[in-house]
Amino acid sequence: MRPGGAVLGSVRRAAAPDPDPGGALSFGGFVARAARAGRLVVQPRMGFSDPGRMRTGLAATRSAAAVTVGTLTIDSYTRVGDHAGARAALAEGARLNGYPITAHSAEQTLAVLDGIADPAFPVQVRHGSSRPGAIVRALAAAGLYATEGGPVSYCLPYGRTPLADSVENWARACELLTELVPAPALPHLESFGGCMLGQLCPPGLLVALSLLEARFFTHHGIRSVSLSIAQQTDPAQDADAVRALRRLAAEFLPPDTDRHVVLYTYMGVYPRTEHGATLLLEDSARLAVRAGAQRLIVKTSAEAHRIPTVRENLRALETASAAADQAAEALRRNAPGPDPAGHSDSAVYREARAFVEAVLDLGDDPGRALRTAFARGVLDVPYCLHPDNAGRSRSFLDSAGRLCWAETGGMPIPPDKARDRARTPLTSDGLLAALYGVAARYDNPSPGGRILSPAPSPS
């Protein structure tokens, strides 16, 4: 092992899936083989500007007592296209909040990955950019082939880049991946659509956005995709969302597409106590297994306070994996397991399908259809201030903790008028209660340790 590659502790990595018998380097294939072996793949959000520290983090992730994939999370300068700023910060010795892949040379990144990234441990580049071209070129030059984002999900929440520009940028990024990643590697793209402002967005819209972005990717030549959804406020609704995403992917993506669903551990205000954060992480792992997600993006007990250390990331990976293994064993003993086709005709599925069909009716080109859908308010993300978002939709938490629509503007679904409190506007106090509700529930469970259902938001 090269210098800088020391791992933490003495744990042994769980047995990785066998390499692809066809010899392909496939991120999705790795996840699929783990799923067939009954294992949930767990992945950190990890990025360090110092190459030695980044290598140590990847080596620790690979060594974990879990089935893992690695992450190179990109820094803020690079995400917004300020590559000169990233280089200047490195020259000054600044510690950035991620790995500046365009500021480091391809040789430097290859040295970080040498002896670590391989078919038994694929590494994904995660970034947050509506202008991903330079990032795609840099990751391909370093021998990587998996990344994530999307024309909507890496545009609307994060800045003021026009949606039309982001759609063009992402179309070119897809084409670059297919051009620059050589065989036998299979370029992989994960949609971030199911996580965009996901804390207070009813899951039907998030499921639809993830599916529509995946369809956009396949339209532009990507054959391996993953579709995301974030853990939200109600376990039953969350499970419906995962199953709806799996079912819609089977119905609307080309049949030869390599695909899987990735669940994100809760992305909102995180519990401040270690026991609360651990309980929430374990619940997300159990949710993934129960609903049929095949990969989990974890969070650590330090999320509410600071950027987590390598050791804290390692602990989170192993905690999530252990909870997932226990849940899988319980399913094997007590039930046939998740429906492999995701045949769940839930309210989330029906709502998501209405969004998908309404957008696809706007044209055969997914990018143009997405632009038209937002321009007409057919898609409208609540509480999103981007100029290309209509801003007429509003959501609320009902008394059972489920996310519902109070106002739907021009979207092809009705508001949830039949549910309690739907007609009551969400006040600032109610918004704060909704934002902090999950953290409060997990930090302060009932005396018996049970996580209580949330109370309705005050109005």
Q: Please tell me the predicted confidence (pLDDT) of residue 259.
A: 97
Percent of the chain with pLDDT over 70: 87
Q: What average pLDDT does range 36-57 have in this prediction?
A: 96
Q: What average pLDDT does range 49-59 have in this prediction?
A: 97
- For the stretch 401-455, pLDDT in tens is 899 999 999 999 999 865 554 455 567 777 777 888 889 899 887 655 555 444 4
Q: Please tell me the predicted confidence (pLDDT) of residue 25.
A: 86
Give 205's pLDDT tier (boundaries 50, 70, 90): very high
Give 15's pLDDT tier (boundaries 50, 70, 90): low
Q: Please tell me the predicted confidence (pLDDT) of residue 424.
A: 57
Lowest mean pLDDT among 115-119, 134-138, 429-433: 429-433
Greater pLDDT, 19 or 353: 353
DSSP state of 118: B
Task: Please count the other Cβ atoms lying within 10 Å of the Cβ belonging to residue 18.
Answer: 11
Greater pLDDT, 450 or 351: 351
Per-residue pLDDT for 458 more than 60? no
CA-to-CA distance for 75 and 56, rounded, in angstroms? 18
Q: pTM (2 decimals)?
A: 0.91
Q: Please tell me the predicted confidence (pLDDT) of residue 457.
A: 38
Per-residue pLDDT for 303 more than 90? no
Closest CA to 217 of 154, 149, 294, 162: 149
The domain spans of the chain are 25-334
Q: What average pLDDT does range 288-313 have in this prediction?
A: 92
CA-to-CA distance for 179 and 177, rounded, in angstroms? 5
CA-to-CA distance for 15 and 22, rounded, in angstroms? 20
- For the stretch 144-197, pLDDT in tens is 999 999 999 999 987 889 999 999 999 999 999 999 999 999 999 999 999 987
Report, at the CATH architecture level, how domain 25-334 is classified: Alpha-Beta Barrel (3.20)
Average pLDDT taken over every residue of the chain: 89
Greater pLDDT, 383 or 113: 113
Q: What average pLDDT does range 245-268 have in this prediction?
A: 96
- For the stretch 209-243, pLDDT in tens is 999 999 999 999 999 999 999 999 999 999 999 99
Give 307's pLDDT tier (boundaries 50, 70, 90): confident
Q: Please tell me the predicted confidence (pLDDT) of residue 306.
A: 81
Q: Please tell me the predicted confidence (pLDDT) of residue 450.
A: 53
Per-residue pLDDT for 399 more than 70? yes
CA-to-CA distance for 391 and 12, rounded, in angstroms? 49
Task: Please count the other Cβ atoms lying within 10 Å of the Cβ belonging to residue 267.
Answer: 17
